[in-house]
Amino acid sequence: MKRWQSLFITAGLLLATALWAVPTFTPLLDGSKDVGWGATPDEATTSLAEPVAFNLDSGLYVTDDNEYIYFGFWADPDPWDDAMNPHIHILIDVGSTAGGGTYAAWGAGGVAYNMPYRPEYDLVTQWNTSDQNIQFTGLNTWSGGWVQQPEIMTDAGGGGQWTEIAISRLALGDPVQGETLNLTMWLRPSWGTAGGNCVLPEEAGFPSANGATAHPITVQFPYTIQTVYGDVNPPCLALVRQIDETSVELVFSEPMDELTLANSANYTMTGWFQTGFRYVTATTVGFWYNPGFVSGTPYTVEVGAGITDLAGNPMDPSCDELSWNGQSYADVTFLVHDPFDVATNVTVRGTWNFYHEYDAGGFDLDFDLYDDGTHGDVTAGDNDWTLLMPLVPNGGTPNFRWKWLQDGNWQPGADNEFTLPDLNPLTVEGTIPYAIEQEVTVTFDLNMNCMPCADVDSVTIAGPLGNWDGYSAMTDDGDGTYSYNIVFPIGTSASQEYKYRYHWTNEALEVVTEWEGVPNRALNLDDSSPTQILPQDFFNDVECTFLTQAVEVTFYCDMQCVELGATVDGVDVVGTFNCWGATPILLADDGVAPDVAAGDGQWTATVNFPIGSITELEYKFRRIENGDPDPIYEWEDAIGNRTYTLLDDGLDVDLPNAFFNNWVCDPVDLTIIRDGDNVHLDWNGPSRVYYQVWEHTSPVNVSVDGTLLDTTPDSFFDVAIPVGEVPATFYQIVATTEIPE
């Protein structure tokens, strides 16, 4: 029996682009889309370059009123079971300026911002993976590098629901009416992932895999401020909440003047006293109270008139004071075992203040552990390092994260996690691994040959021993490989992690660092010898093979079924072999070999792949439409990258005819005639398209252009067509672009 490989007849996808901004209005930030947002976003994309389960296809809505700028969007739920929190970034350039950010903040330094107007601001929303609600929204600013600014409380929604964010216009430098904000929106799966997942407006070729190496962002769209600024509303003290036994947080209703917040004379405490600031942000202040709050005891805090918002408005006297009762605590014992007696100092960091996941660069302050019989330690000198810490239960969401540090070196591996649902005491444990007993020199070897499009000035290694800051440049061995030696001293943990990074210089002469997108590499030090040579690594674990003989490859792209009304002035093919368009290869439909017939919609080009070319090809076709002043390129966005592996046999290759975007046309008209056990199919329609016919009850023989073919049952979409001569019988008609074997 013969088998057909089939493609569904697919309707074209239309790019929905807003031509005007959402009319100005003040939305209610409640996670529900107000009518005022309308149906048309300011910028949208139908690109499928981003993950199917996690995209921004619904677009970004923007509006403003006399005090705030508002962003609204739908965001799909987190599809990755990695216990990490996904993020959406909104990059903001104010006034079309050339100065500003060149790479992403919050651990995403591998994403370069190569766009005409550089963002001065990065508005980041993180939501919980458990209930998909917003957990944190913060603002980063650029001053030579990204500087984390405070959490802002004016947000609602999260993954899987309508999401809204309001940010004070003053927090963005007070853009005036008529001024332009140049915006880009992009998504990544967690705070620790250097890569990204999609960009709005559409960024062709941006990676779709969790942890993939991100391409530079090169697109943005303008939004014009519609209203005049005018903040006359006084701020309020919105919330007070106790973090743990010795600290409390105040939350304000809007961004505040941080200098006034940091003045202890502007606060009056009743029942307690301030022993220090834990942190100050634009909307929050954390205080230490070292004696500790007593469960059930009432406490009060009042903020004075000296505290003002960004517009200089003093506090509203009707909402400048709040009271609360001291919280109960659960005793959490942190126990780190040191079975090989290698540690002289052990500390622990974690997200004890679970309202601020990003304090001090990801974790809160260091807390010392003890092996002297105090602070919860049972037996002095037994190499069990301990700390008893009373924490306010968080109900289990979000989980606390923590790590230990041995003599300043982070524990290898992922963060530890625990939940604290109630007041029952809890012990969480870790173990310091074996430490080497003699100095070991480790030789690293990295192959970069499978990254031909990487713009590499230098390559470095980073790891915990160097606090992930990176060592000096690896040695270029002259053959696409790099080597480096690291000396690990006596007492170093035998369990190490590392990653590679490459560095390049952008048009602004700034050095951009591209991290590997793979998980941290594991290294187990072997101190049975003073030297250790590691197997060769491949950057991003991308391995490949190379041609030893030149090969010519002919590409065929069929454009007869492109979207209705789409103009085809040209077609090109871009892929890994020409760095996704750095040197595009044009196809022709001019009847000159290898093209068969001019103007028949089949575009062709023959490409020479010389000795040394990578055999694993990834590519896509682009439709070209003449524009003014520049051509317009439409990528194949309904499919993933096309792939083909060249055989190293020196034989030239004719690739199969590929319909653009895998769109296959319906026939113009179709006639089905049953003749005994055979069915004859006659149609007027597109060239190079073939059809299958299935009877619902059993397979039947099919005659295509007078040639009798056998068929085999398969699973296809239902298009039931009654046969005129046999009214009780129904058939399925399925289009395919491949002739049966």
Does a structural domain hold residue 13? no
- 196 pLDDT exceeds 80? no
When divided into structural domains, the chain yields a total of 6
Looking at residue 82, what is its pLDDT? 64
Pairwise pLDDT comparison (634 vs 55), residue with the higher score: 634
Mean pLDDT check: name the lowest of 212-226, 308-322, 381-395. Answer: 212-226
Distance between the two ends of the chain, CA-based, in angstroms? 10
Residues 314 and 405 in one domain: no
Give burial (CB, 10 Å; 0-12/13-18/19+) of 259. exposed
Looking at residue 342, what is its pLDDT? 86
Does a structural domain hold residue 538? no
Residues 485 and 565 in one domain: no
- Binned at pLDDT 50, 70 and 90, residue 86 comes out as confident
Looking at residue 684, what is its pLDDT? 64
- Binned at pLDDT 50, 70 and 90, residue 700 comes out as very low
Does a structural domain hold residue 85? yes
**Rounded Cα gap, residues 202 and 163, in angstroms:** 20
Does a structural domain hold residue 22? no
CATH code where residue 411 lies? 2.60.40.10
CB 108 within 8 Å of CB 196: yes
pTM of the full predicted structure?
0.55
Residues 365 and 456 in one domain: no
Residues 298 and 154 in one domain: no
Structural domain boundaries enclosing 398: 330-431
- Pairing type for strands 690-695 and 531-533 reads unpaired
Last residue of a domain, one of 499, 530, 561: 530
- Binned at pLDDT 50, 70 and 90, residue 193 comes out as low
Does a structural domain hold residue 54? yes
Q: How does pLDDT run across 116-163, given as a tens digit for each residue?
A: 899 999 998 887 776 777 877 888 888 777 776 666 767 888 777 888
Does a structural domain hold residue 23? no
Does a structural domain hold residue 471? yes
Average pLDDT across the chain, whole number: 80
Q: Which two tokens stand for residue 150?
A: 């405070």
Looking at residue 564, what is its pLDDT? 65
Q: How does pLDDT run across 278-312, given as a tens digit for each residue?
A: 888 778 898 999 999 999 999 999 999 999 988 88
Q: How does pLDDT run across 375-429, given as a tens digit for each residue?
A: 999 999 999 999 998 888 877 766 788 889 888 777 887 788 898 889 999 999 9
Residues 374 and 473 in one domain: no
Last residue of a domain, one of 413, 431, 449: 431
Q: What percent of the chain has pLDDT over 90?
A: 39
Mean pLDDT check: name the lowest of 80-89, 173-182, 228-237, 732-741. Answer: 732-741
**Rounded Cα gap, residues 29 and 561, in angstroms:** 44
Residues 128 and 249 in one domain: no
Residue 21: helix, strand or coil by DSSP? coil
Residues 196 and 102 in one domain: yes
- 204 pLDDT exceeds 50? yes
- Binned at pLDDT 50, 70 and 90, residue 85 comes out as confident
Residues 340 and 319 in one domain: no
Residue 191 identity (one-letter amino acid): W
DSSP string, 125-179: EEE-TTT-BEEEEEEEEESSSEEEEEE---EE-BTTEEEEEEEETGGGT-PPTT-
Looking at residue 721, what is its pLDDT? 33
Looking at residue 706, what is its pLDDT? 42
Specify the residue for token string 């002095």: 380
Residues 159 and 53 in one domain: yes
- 712 pLDDT exceeds 50? no
Residues 87 and 103 in one domain: yes
**Rounded Cα gap, residues 686 and 8, in angstroms:** 15
- 716 pLDDT exceeds 90? no
Residues 507 and 608 in one domain: no
Q: How does pLDDT run across 483-502, given as a tens digit for each residue?
A: 999 999 988 889 888 999 99
Backbone phi, then psi, for 442, in 5-degree steps? -105, 130
Looking at residue 692, what is its pLDDT? 53
Last residue of a domain, one of 325, 356, 384: 325
- 702 pLDDT exceeds 80? no
Looking at residue 525, what is its pLDDT? 94
Q: How does pLDDT run across 459-471, given as a tens digit for each residue?
A: 999 987 766 777 8
Mean pLDDT of 633-653: 90
Nearest alpha-carbon partner for 303 in 325, 289, 283 = 283
Does a structural domain hold residue 7? no
Residues 652 and 617 in one domain: yes
Looking at residue 669, what is its pLDDT? 65
Q: How does pLDDT run across 508-537, given as a tens digit for each residue?
A: 777 888 888 888 899 999 999 999 999 999
Pairwise pLDDT comparison (433 vs 10), residue with the higher score: 433
- Binned at pLDDT 50, 70 and 90, residue 741 comes out as very low
